[in-house]
Amino acid sequence: MRAVVVNETGGPHVLHERQVPRPSPGPGEVLVRIEAAGVNFIDTYFRDGTYPAPLPLVPGQEAAGVIVGAGAGALDDAAFAVGDRVAFATVRGAYAESASVPVTALVPVPDTIGARNAAALLLQGLAARYLTHDTHPVRDGEVVVVHAGAGGLGRLLVQLATARGARVLATASTEDKRRFARDAGAHAVCGYEEPGGLRARVDEISEGRGASVVFDGVGAPTFESSLRALGPRGHLVLCGLSGGRVPPFDLDRLRSGSLTVSRPSLADHTRDAATLRASAADLFDHLTRGRVSARVHAELPLADAAEAHRMLQSRRTAGKLLLIP
Are 321 and 111 in contact by the 8 Å Cβ rule? The answer is: no
pLDDT score, position 194: 77
Which residues of the chain have a pLDDT value below 70? Answer: none
CA atoms within 13 A on the CB side of 206: 24
pLDDT of residue 123: 95
For domain 2-122+267-324, give its CATH number from 3.40.190.10, 3.60.130.10, 3.90.180.10, 3.40.50.1820: 3.90.180.10
Dihedral sign (CA 250, 251, 256, 257):
positive
Instruction: Indicate the CATH number for domain 140-262.
Output: 3.40.50.720
> Where are the domains positioned within the chain?
2-122+267-324, 140-262
CB 243 within 8 A of CB 218: yes
Q: State the pTM of this model.
A: 0.89
